[in-house]
Amino acid sequence: MKGNKGAMRKDLWPMRLNKYIAYAGICSRRKAEELVKRGQIKVNDVIVKIPFIEITQNDTVKFKDQIITPTKKFVYILLNKPKNYISTVSDEKNRNSILDLIKENSDERLYPVGRLDRNTTGLILLTNDGHLAQKLSHPRNSVSKIYKVWLDKKTTQEILIKFQKGAQLEDGYLKPDALNYSEINDPREVLIEIHSGKNRVVRRYFEHFGFTVEKLDRVYYAGLTKKNISRGRYRHLTPDEVRNLKHLGK
Protein backbone atom coordinates (compact mmCIF):
# COMPACT_ATOMS: atom_id res chain seq x y z
CA MET A 1 0.00 0.00 0.00
CA LYS A 2 1.56 3.26 -1.07
CA GLY A 3 1.14 6.31 1.06
CA ASN A 4 2.80 9.14 2.91
CA LYS A 5 1.95 9.84 6.52
CA GLY A 6 3.61 13.20 6.27
CA ALA A 7 1.15 14.22 3.53
CA MET A 8 -1.86 13.79 5.82
CA ARG A 9 -3.29 16.92 7.46
CA LYS A 10 -1.52 17.73 10.70
CA ASP A 11 -4.81 18.04 12.56
CA LEU A 12 -5.48 14.31 11.98
CA TRP A 13 -2.70 13.34 14.39
CA PRO A 14 -2.70 11.52 16.71
CA MET A 15 -5.09 9.08 15.02
CA ARG A 16 -6.94 6.12 16.51
CA LEU A 17 -5.65 2.79 15.22
CA ASN A 18 -8.95 1.66 13.67
CA LYS A 19 -9.22 4.99 11.82
CA TYR A 20 -5.60 4.65 10.66
CA ILE A 21 -6.36 1.22 9.18
CA ALA A 22 -9.49 2.54 7.45
CA TYR A 23 -7.58 5.49 6.00
CA ALA A 24 -5.01 3.01 4.70
CA GLY A 25 -7.79 1.51 2.58
CA ILE A 26 -7.69 -1.89 4.25
CA CYS A 27 -11.34 -1.98 5.37
CA SER A 28 -13.98 0.00 7.26
CA ARG A 29 -13.37 1.16 10.84
CA ARG A 30 -15.70 -1.54 12.15
CA LYS A 31 -13.81 -4.28 10.29
CA ALA A 32 -10.55 -2.71 11.44
CA GLU A 33 -11.62 -3.21 15.05
CA GLU A 34 -12.09 -6.91 14.32
CA LEU A 35 -8.64 -7.17 12.70
CA VAL A 36 -7.03 -5.60 15.75
CA LYS A 37 -8.93 -7.77 18.23
CA ARG A 38 -7.88 -10.89 16.30
CA GLY A 39 -4.24 -9.88 16.63
CA GLN A 40 -3.68 -9.20 12.94
CA ILE A 41 -2.22 -5.72 13.40
CA LYS A 42 1.23 -4.81 14.65
CA VAL A 43 2.34 -1.39 15.89
CA ASN A 44 6.11 -0.95 15.95
CA ASP A 45 6.40 -4.74 15.42
CA VAL A 46 4.29 -5.54 18.49
CA ILE A 47 0.82 -7.13 18.16
CA VAL A 48 -1.84 -4.89 19.66
CA LYS A 49 -5.43 -5.83 20.42
CA ILE A 50 -6.87 -2.45 21.40
CA PRO A 51 -8.50 -0.76 18.36
CA PHE A 52 -8.63 2.72 19.87
CA ILE A 53 -5.00 3.33 20.82
CA GLU A 54 -3.61 6.51 19.28
CA ILE A 55 -1.06 6.37 16.47
CA THR A 56 1.42 9.15 15.81
CA GLN A 57 3.29 9.98 12.62
CA ASN A 58 6.37 8.26 14.05
CA ASP A 59 4.66 4.87 14.56
CA THR A 60 4.86 1.97 12.10
CA VAL A 61 1.71 -0.08 11.54
CA LYS A 62 1.72 -3.48 9.81
CA PHE A 63 -1.02 -5.74 8.43
CA LYS A 64 0.05 -9.21 7.30
CA ASP A 65 3.62 -8.04 8.05
CA GLN A 66 3.34 -5.31 5.39
CA ILE A 67 3.63 -1.65 6.37
CA ILE A 68 0.39 0.22 5.80
CA THR A 69 0.01 3.99 5.65
CA PRO A 70 -2.98 6.30 5.33
CA THR A 71 -3.63 7.17 1.72
CA LYS A 72 -3.52 10.78 0.57
CA LYS A 73 -5.77 10.01 -2.40
CA PHE A 74 -9.29 8.68 -1.97
CA VAL A 75 -11.04 7.10 -4.94
CA TYR A 76 -14.82 7.02 -5.40
CA ILE A 77 -16.23 5.01 -8.31
CA LEU A 78 -19.88 4.47 -9.22
CA LEU A 79 -20.42 1.26 -11.21
CA ASN A 80 -23.48 -0.04 -13.05
CA LYS A 81 -23.09 -3.72 -12.17
CA PRO A 82 -24.03 -6.39 -14.75
CA LYS A 83 -25.54 -9.75 -13.88
CA ASN A 84 -23.26 -12.68 -12.98
CA TYR A 85 -20.66 -10.54 -11.22
CA ILE A 86 -20.08 -10.83 -7.50
CA SER A 87 -19.50 -7.75 -5.36
CA THR A 88 -16.83 -9.13 -3.05
CA VAL A 89 -13.10 -8.48 -3.16
CA SER A 90 -12.10 -12.16 -3.21
CA ASP A 91 -13.88 -15.38 -4.10
CA GLU A 92 -12.74 -18.96 -3.58
CA LYS A 93 -14.76 -20.05 -6.63
CA ASN A 94 -12.88 -17.66 -8.93
CA ARG A 95 -16.08 -16.08 -10.26
CA ASN A 96 -16.24 -12.77 -12.09
CA SER A 97 -15.88 -9.84 -9.68
CA ILE A 98 -16.94 -6.23 -10.10
CA LEU A 99 -13.28 -5.31 -9.57
CA ASP A 100 -12.56 -7.00 -12.93
CA LEU A 101 -14.61 -4.23 -14.57
CA ILE A 102 -12.41 -1.40 -13.30
CA LYS A 103 -10.02 -0.84 -16.20
CA GLU A 104 -7.49 1.62 -14.89
CA ASN A 105 -4.21 1.47 -13.05
CA SER A 106 -4.45 2.23 -9.37
CA ASP A 107 -2.37 1.47 -6.31
CA GLU A 108 -5.45 1.90 -4.14
CA ARG A 109 -7.41 -1.09 -2.85
CA LEU A 110 -11.06 -0.55 -3.63
CA TYR A 111 -13.92 -2.07 -1.65
CA PRO A 112 -17.63 -2.24 -2.53
CA VAL A 113 -20.22 -0.31 -0.52
CA GLY A 114 -23.82 -1.51 -0.55
CA ARG A 115 -23.24 -4.95 -1.99
CA LEU A 116 -25.48 -6.58 -4.57
CA ASP A 117 -25.96 -10.31 -5.00
CA ARG A 118 -24.67 -12.04 -8.11
CA ASN A 119 -27.98 -11.89 -10.02
CA THR A 120 -28.83 -8.29 -9.12
CA THR A 121 -27.77 -5.48 -11.42
CA GLY A 122 -27.38 -1.75 -10.92
CA LEU A 123 -25.55 0.85 -8.89
CA ILE A 124 -22.74 0.01 -6.54
CA LEU A 125 -20.09 2.27 -5.06
CA LEU A 126 -16.41 1.31 -4.79
CA THR A 127 -13.97 3.28 -2.67
CA ASN A 128 -10.84 3.11 -0.56
CA ASP A 129 -12.37 5.54 1.95
CA GLY A 130 -13.09 3.17 4.82
CA HIS A 131 -14.67 5.89 6.96
CA LEU A 132 -17.24 6.79 4.29
CA ALA A 133 -17.90 3.11 3.56
CA GLN A 134 -18.76 2.51 7.20
CA LYS A 135 -20.96 5.59 7.32
CA LEU A 136 -22.98 4.58 4.24
CA SER A 137 -23.40 1.05 5.58
CA HIS A 138 -24.60 2.05 9.04
CA PRO A 139 -28.40 1.68 9.51
CA ARG A 140 -28.74 4.95 11.43
CA ASN A 141 -27.83 6.97 8.34
CA SER A 142 -30.84 5.60 6.41
CA VAL A 143 -29.20 5.56 3.00
CA SER A 144 -31.96 5.48 0.41
CA LYS A 145 -31.99 2.88 -2.36
CA ILE A 146 -34.48 2.43 -5.20
CA TYR A 147 -34.87 -0.87 -7.04
CA LYS A 148 -36.75 -1.72 -10.21
CA VAL A 149 -38.36 -5.12 -9.68
CA TRP A 150 -39.66 -7.56 -12.30
CA LEU A 151 -42.07 -10.04 -10.68
CA ASP A 152 -43.16 -13.45 -11.93
CA LYS A 153 -46.88 -12.58 -11.74
CA LYS A 154 -49.09 -9.61 -12.43
CA THR A 155 -50.14 -7.43 -9.54
CA THR A 156 -53.33 -5.49 -8.85
CA GLN A 157 -54.02 -2.28 -6.95
CA GLU A 158 -55.12 -4.40 -3.99
CA ILE A 159 -51.84 -6.31 -4.01
CA LEU A 160 -49.88 -3.09 -4.44
CA ILE A 161 -51.51 -1.69 -1.31
CA LYS A 162 -50.40 -4.81 0.60
CA PHE A 163 -46.85 -4.31 -0.69
CA GLN A 164 -46.92 -0.72 0.57
CA LYS A 165 -47.98 -1.65 4.10
CA GLY A 166 -44.86 -3.64 4.96
CA ALA A 167 -44.19 -7.13 6.30
CA GLN A 168 -42.50 -8.98 9.13
CA LEU A 169 -39.49 -10.86 7.76
CA GLU A 170 -37.36 -13.35 9.65
CA ASP A 171 -34.80 -10.67 10.53
CA GLY A 172 -37.14 -7.77 11.28
CA TYR A 173 -39.99 -5.64 10.01
CA LEU A 174 -39.66 -3.93 6.63
CA LYS A 175 -41.90 -1.14 5.39
CA PRO A 176 -40.93 0.44 2.06
CA ASP A 177 -40.29 4.17 2.06
CA ALA A 178 -42.19 4.19 -1.24
CA LEU A 179 -43.58 1.58 -3.61
CA ASN A 180 -45.46 1.92 -6.89
CA TYR A 181 -45.72 0.65 -10.41
CA SER A 182 -42.69 1.12 -12.60
CA GLU A 183 -44.56 0.98 -15.91
CA ILE A 184 -48.32 1.54 -16.11
CA ASN A 185 -48.63 -0.96 -18.95
CA ASP A 186 -46.87 -3.80 -17.13
CA PRO A 187 -48.29 -4.67 -13.68
CA ARG A 188 -45.38 -7.06 -13.09
CA GLU A 189 -42.90 -4.18 -12.75
CA VAL A 190 -42.67 -2.12 -9.56
CA LEU A 191 -40.30 0.40 -8.03
CA ILE A 192 -39.48 0.02 -4.35
CA GLU A 193 -37.57 2.49 -2.20
CA ILE A 194 -36.00 1.25 1.03
CA HIS A 195 -33.17 2.18 3.35
CA SER A 196 -32.46 -1.32 4.67
CA GLY A 197 -29.18 -2.93 3.64
CA LYS A 198 -29.96 -6.44 4.84
CA ASN A 199 -28.99 -9.41 2.71
CA ARG A 200 -31.37 -10.14 -0.20
CA VAL A 201 -34.03 -8.06 1.55
CA VAL A 202 -35.93 -7.01 -1.61
CA ARG A 203 -36.17 -10.56 -2.91
CA ARG A 204 -37.25 -11.83 0.50
CA TYR A 205 -39.82 -9.07 0.85
CA PHE A 206 -41.71 -10.06 -2.29
CA GLU A 207 -41.32 -13.77 -1.52
CA HIS A 208 -43.24 -13.05 1.71
CA PHE A 209 -46.24 -12.15 -0.46
CA GLY A 210 -45.90 -15.21 -2.70
CA PHE A 211 -44.04 -13.52 -5.57
CA THR A 212 -40.67 -14.38 -7.10
CA VAL A 213 -38.33 -11.62 -8.24
CA GLU A 214 -37.22 -12.51 -11.76
CA LYS A 215 -35.00 -9.45 -12.26
CA LEU A 216 -33.75 -6.82 -9.84
CA ASP A 217 -31.97 -3.58 -10.72
CA ARG A 218 -30.79 -0.89 -8.31
CA VAL A 219 -31.43 2.41 -10.08
CA TYR A 220 -30.71 4.85 -7.24
CA TYR A 221 -28.26 4.82 -4.34
CA ALA A 222 -27.73 7.61 -1.80
CA GLY A 223 -28.70 10.36 -4.23
CA LEU A 224 -26.79 8.83 -7.17
CA THR A 225 -28.42 7.55 -10.37
CA LYS A 226 -27.39 5.50 -13.39
CA LYS A 227 -27.56 8.48 -15.74
CA ASN A 228 -24.92 8.16 -18.49
CA ILE A 229 -23.53 4.91 -17.03
CA SER A 230 -24.30 1.93 -19.28
CA ARG A 231 -24.27 -1.61 -17.90
CA GLY A 232 -20.76 -2.74 -16.97
CA ARG A 233 -19.37 0.81 -17.09
CA TYR A 234 -18.46 3.24 -14.34
CA ARG A 235 -17.47 6.80 -13.58
CA HIS A 236 -15.69 8.67 -10.80
CA LEU A 237 -17.83 10.74 -8.46
CA THR A 238 -17.59 14.50 -8.65
CA PRO A 239 -16.31 16.48 -5.62
CA ASP A 240 -19.87 17.71 -4.99
CA GLU A 241 -21.21 14.14 -4.98
CA VAL A 242 -18.53 13.02 -2.52
CA ARG A 243 -19.32 16.01 -0.32
CA ASN A 244 -23.02 15.15 -0.34
CA LEU A 245 -22.31 11.54 0.66
CA LYS A 246 -20.15 12.68 3.55
CA HIS A 247 -22.96 14.90 4.82
CA LEU A 248 -25.58 12.15 4.83
CA GLY A 249 -27.04 11.58 8.26
CA LYS A 250 -25.69 14.83 9.69
Listed in order, strand segments (DSSP E) in the chain are 15-16, 41-43, 46-47, 54-55, 61-63, 66-68, 76-81, 111-113, 121-127, 145-151, 167-169, 172-174, 178-183, 186-194, 213-221, 224-225, 234-236
Backbone angles phi and psi of 68, in degrees to 5: -115, 145
3-state secondary structure of 29: helix
177 an active-site residue? no
Q: Which residue of the set 91, 100, 107, 117 is catalytic?
A: 117
Quote the CA–CA distance of 117 and 217 in Å, as a whole number: 11
Q: What is the CA radius of gyration of the chain?
A: 20
Q: Catalytic positions, please? A: 117
